[in-house]
Structure 1
Amino acid sequence: MKESGQTVQSVERALSIMECFTLEKPQQTLGELAVQTKLSKSTIYRLLTTLARCGYIKQDEVTQKYSLGFKLFNLGAVVAGNMSLRDTSLPFMKKLCNELSETIDLNIIEEDQRVCIEMVESSEQIRNIVRVGQRNALWVGASGKVLLANLEETERRRILDEAIKLNQLQIEKSVLEKELDVIRSQGYVTSIDDRVKGSFAIASPIFNHTGKLIGGVTAAGPIHRLSEERTPFLIQQVMYTAYKISEAMGDSEAKSRYPTMVTV
């Protein structure tokens, strides 16, 4: 086994083979892999045989094409399981708090409610207070609405229908659904005097490695600090933070989920 500097060449080659497989082209022939890796077919074959024996590569008996094995799925599940949203988000939240001097909170959906699971408090004398563990309806305030808007349609409809049945919705369903459509398309929501009078909140969704909604990040503060000039900056910083957290949680298409975000 040859070594190159501090690396093992055969391992590098094996990894380069596995990186050839994509969602667009999940199956590859020996020749296609040889072209992409610039390795000889004999080398590719030896590495594929080893990877297949260990469960990282499999070969279709009919087409003779190769694809990734389920062993990689198991390893991916281990990585995903160790990606704590709270732990991953906290450094980004602290950075955002320092940049904006506003309270930053992290929210998830639990039992059809918005729940705060982490908070970084503003150092300003006048500031918003958000308590970890605090629960609120999903259709009230920026933190809840950004989660509700990005839920799968069937889940969103179920929650709204249940709220109507219990007479909890204080707004026409059709009006709320239009608002949620806008929130989903722009990648953020701003609320003023919504849940807490005299305050504003700006929230953006967070997604995981499968592109599924897993939470939302919110910046909140008193209305007197929400000037017309400052609002675009606040929105962009919150969206950028949500994008970076999603990226850190393994979302390879994170950037495309924030259509109105500009380079920060």
Structure 2
Amino acid sequence: MNESVRKAADILSALADVGRDASAREIGVLLDLPKSTVQRLLQALEQSGLVRQDSASRRYGLGPMTLTLGMSYLDRIDVRSQALPHMMRLRDDLDETIALAVRVGHSRVYVEQVESRSGLKAKAEVGRPYPLWAGAAGRVLLASLSREELIRFTLDVGDAAFTHVTPPTLNGLLAQIEETRRRGYAWAFEEAMRGVHTVAAPIPISMSEVAALSVSGPSTWFDESRMKDATGPLMDAARAISSSMGYTNPLPSPGKMA
């Protein structure tokens, strides 16, 4: 990849990760790049609409073109249309928020979501990148990688990326991924979002890719007992979506849940 293109992509990823406007200096510190380099690339990205600069603060944020590109990407993901009817039925059965995520680089992106009708609900932001190493959906997506891909991923993100999740070590994450492969699903307790518990299962969408189907609820309500009750229906829905796309979902039977 051209070095300038890679740095420009890193800038866009950094702006997505911080979730707020940032100065050229702040972005340079995050990416270990000279401020002059960041400023030059930001100006080029601004001309294309990929970033925009606030006239008062002089800080930069993602521009409208990123939404256009993101929506175009979402429109090309066939699993959304196949999954939505199953997601709605699962929401109606469990009255919890149901979400569908895919892997994009080192992040997971929610491409569809059906919210709980309850006043107590937990939801993610569709289209926003979330760290792939945190949360049940992230572990489900990581569990689909080969050993070589997983090693490369952990080398790329570095040990520092794992300090805010439980367990707070790289080896702990690898152990969780292995457990996810064994069970065929993953649980997370307030990892990606405070006050939210999540159960996730994989949906094969091609010979080498999976999506993650998840059920999330407030930790005050969606406790271990309700998570266990939700896991079987979740896995059934994941199998049904996979089957509708012509793939066999290699999930353990719900009766074998640990």
Aligned to 1:109: 103
2:211 is paired with a residue of what secondary structure?
Answer: strand
TM-score by length of 1: 0.63
Residues 1:202 and 2:199 are matched in the alignment: yes
The ranges of structure 1 where at least 4 consecutive aligned residues each deviate by more than 6 angstroms after the TM superposition are none
Is residue 176 of structure 1 aligned with residue 173 of structure 2? Answer: yes
Specify the alignment match of 1:163 in structure 2.
Answer: 157
Partner of 2:242: 246
Q: How far apart in 2 are the matches of 1:175 and 1:199?
A: 21
> Which residue of 221, 226, 236 maps to 1:225?
221
Counterparts of 1:39-118 in structure 2, within 5 Å, are 84-118=78-112
- Deviations, residues 78-125 of structure 1 (Å, cap 9, x unaligned): xxxx98111101111111111111111100011221001011111111
The answer (yes or no) to whether the contact 2:133–2:139 under 8 Å persists in 1 is yes
Offset at 1:228?
Answer: 4.4
Instruction: Give the corresponding residue for 1:33.
Output: none
List gaps (5 residues or longer) in structure 1.
Answer: 1-81
TM-score by length of 2: 0.64
Alignment match, 1:19: none
Q: Which residue of 2 aligns with 1:131?
A: 125
- Distance in 1 of aligned mates of 2:210 and 2:223: 30
Query: Aligned AA for 1:181?
Result: E
**Count of aligned residue pairs for this structure pair:** 177
The aligned residue for residue 212 of structure 2 is: 216
The structure with the largest alpha-carbon Rg is 1
> SS of 1:225's equivalent?
coil
Cα deviation, 1:166-210, whole Å, max 9, x if unaligned, reads x32223221211110000110101111212122100000110353
The CA distance in 2 between the partners of 1:250 and 1:183, in whole Å, is: 23
Alignment-mate amino acid for residue 258 of structure 1: L
Say if 2:203 and 2:210, in contact at 8 Å, map to a contact too: yes
* Alignment RMSD: 1.9
SS at 1:108 equivalent: strand
